[in-house]
Amino acid sequence: MTDDTEGPQISAAAMERWQGLAEETPLRLTLTRGDLDNLMLALRNMAIGQSELVAALSAHTNQDLNGCVDAMMRAGALNRAAYDRVTALIAAVMASAEPEAAP
């Protein structure tokens, strides 16, 4: 299990700001290329992590305990990396979202 203080965090100010927006409010977002990189790399990490879980299951089925453990460890690391990238993207969205101006 990972410690909750590892990786990117969503600031209290961003959370408070986000919670102040009504759910039906149209939003204008300003995202950087880095923010989109976080999304793309998170999706990539999740896909590779799923492949590692398939490898772990295959190794387990073939009674390869070491291979199973190795694949599970890689899957866990990829999952944590994906989670951190998703958290960073969410933090950027919460910090930059502005209510869309009425026409």
- Does the pLDDT value for residue 1 go beyond 50? no
Question: pLDDT band for position 87 (50/70/90)?
Answer: very high
- Does the pLDDT value for residue 12 go beyond 60? yes
Q: Which of 25, 24, 43 is nearest to 101 (CA)?
A: 25
Nearest-angstrom CA–CA distance, 38 and 20 = 25
CB-based contacts of 45: which residues, under 8 Å, 6+ apart? 78, 79, 81, 82, 85
pLDDT digits 0-9 by tens, 68-86: 999 999 999 999 999 999 9
pLDDT digits 0-9 by tens, 27-70: 999 999 999 999 999 999 999 999 999 999 999 999 999 999 99
Question: pLDDT band for position 102 (50/70/90)?
Answer: low
What's the mean pLDDT in 4-27?
A: 88
What's the mean pLDDT in 88-94?
A: 95
CB-based contacts of 94: which residues, under 8 Å, 6+ apart? 10, 14, 15, 17, 18
pLDDT at 4: 53
- pTM, two decimal places: 0.81
